[in-house]
Amino acid sequence: MECTSCGSKENISHFSIKDNGIKCISCAKLDKSVIRIQNSTLYGIRYVIMSDMKKLFSFSIPEEGIEELKLISKVYLEEKLEKTYRFDKIV
């Protein structure tokens, strides 16, 4: 995966709500909509985007990554769809 601003594949560590993707540390400093993410969360995002639908739910990441993925999903959906969603039932 690469930064949505500069195309760098190094130091990817943030998700941008505004730009709908990931950013490197340098570009994240210029975007107030970013959420810092762990490597496990980045792996989860990459897996969800790239995997076959039949294998979509066959991966595992640490609990912190799951919590970050829930947060990013919630904030992203609320921002883009202008509606509030409950994520308390997601495992």
pLDDT at 90 exceeding the cut of 70: no
Please give the Cα distance from 39 to 61 (Å, whole number).
10
Q: For the beta carbon of residue 76, count every other beta carbon within 10 angstroms.
A: 16
Q: What is the C-alpha to C-alpha distance for residues 34 and 53, in angstroms, rounded to an integer?
A: 27
Q: Residue 91 above 60 pLDDT?
A: no
The 10s digit of each residue's pLDDT in 33-55 is 999 999 988 888 888 878 787 77
pTM for the model stands at 0.72
